[in-house]
Amino acid sequence: MMGRSTLRRRRYASLIVRGVDTDRRKLFVVGDVHGHLAELARSLHAADLIDTDGNWSGGDAELWFLGDFVDRGPDGIGVIELVMRLSGQAADAGGRVDALMGNHEVLLLGMHRFGDEQVPASPSPRTFARSWLLNGGLRSDQDRLTDKHLEWLTSRPVLKLVDDHLLMHSDTMAYLEWGTTIDEVNAAVLAVIASDDLVEWWECWRKMTTRYAFRGPEGVPTVDLLLATLGGSVVVHGHSVIADQLGVPPEEVDRPLSYADGKVLAIDAGLYTGGPCLVVELPYT
């Protein structure tokens, strides 16, 4: 049986998954960090994207985070601040660091805006405060939110097409309920986030918590429909933990999961459950 010390070493492992060598600038993605700042910093350093002081060293590389910076881990705000700082430093160096909005960002912002206000006409008690607590919300994250954090978080897209990779947080078709182009979907979600409509906010949270759209016998035609509508040849997502999909302990995960005939790549290795912090270079083979 694996001892606790071994599990702890595995828990804080940094795994860099290298892609195919190309002449173009390097492209990396990172999944759900959930407040684990130290593990993220170690993984980015191992990938030569930050130096020992935590500053950008990736040159003209492009790095995308797929959302879920907060909840379930000790320092969600620290993760947000690191990504914000790297974004400016990478731009100065000719590179790019950017991020998508995940369902836990919607939850964090919904808790901040609505607290324990009941969702109108809901059949059972539904509040952002209740869901936030049930999903690992930390009071320290709420207390440390500033206007600068809020401005940055509320301007993040939910979809991005990069080098023929369709980046998204949740493995769901619910994005298409907001539009049939990436620009339409992003604009619709940002309009909800800019509003005071609690019902629409709750629907945004609900839609982005759905998952597993590309699994099973209908997975390939489903992802084909999504890609034909929004563009790209491969979906890259976080949200659904790889270990749960494979039925293995999180500490056994050491790479992303390619499935649906190679048209979908899952990169959430379950950092908060004991898996590694994956830094995945695209394209992945």
According to the model, what pLDDT value does residue 22 have?
Answer: 56
Residue 16 is predicted with a pLDDT of: 61
Q: What is the domain-level CATH number for residue 236?
A: 3.60.21.10
Determine the Cα–Cα distance for residues 212 and 239; give it in Å rounded to an integer: 10
The residue ranges of the chain whose pLDDT is under 70 are 1-23
Show the tokens assigned to 216. 């099973």
- DSSP line for 98-143: EE---HHHHHHHHHHHHTTPPPTT-SS---HHHHHHHTT--HHHHH
The reply to whether 166 falls in a domain is: yes
pLDDT in tens, 107-143: 999 999 999 999 999 888 899 999 999 999 999 999 9
**What are the distances in angstroms from CA 98 to CA 6, 36, 237?**
34, 18, 15
**Residue at token pair 């909800």:** 192
Number of domains in the chain: 1
- What's the confidence (pLDDT) of residue 169? 98
Tell me whether residue 19 is in a domain: no
User: Are residues 163 and 27 in contact, defined by beta-carbon separation less than 8 angstroms?
Assistant: yes
The pLDDT of residue 9 is 34
CB-CB contact of 116 with 130 (8 Å): yes
Domain range spanning residue 256? 24-282
Q: What is the predicted pLDDT for the residue at 114?
A: 98
Beta strands in the chain (DSSP E): 14-17, 27-30, 62-65, 96-99, 159-162, 165-168, 234-237, 257-259, 264-266, 277-282
Is residue 62 situated within a structural domain?
Answer: yes
The pLDDT of residue 19? 61
Give the pLDDT score at 23.
Answer: 65
Output the CA–CA distances (angstroms, integers) from residue 14 to 1, 45, 236, in the order listed: 23, 9, 20
- Amino acid residing at 148: K
Pick from 282, 284, 273: nearest CA to 68: 273
Each residue's pLDDT tens digit, 200-224: 999 999 999 999 999 999 999 999 9
pLDDT at 18: 64
The pLDDT value recorded for residue 11 is 40
Residue 199's CB is within 10 A of a number of other CB atoms, namely 13
pLDDT of residue 6: 34
Q: What does residue 167 show for φ and ψ, rounded to 5 degrees? A: -85, 135
Amino acid at 5: S
* pLDDT of the residue at 123: 87
Cα–Cα distance measured from residue 190 to residue 211, given in angstroms and rounded to the nearest whole number: 21
119 part of a folded domain: yes
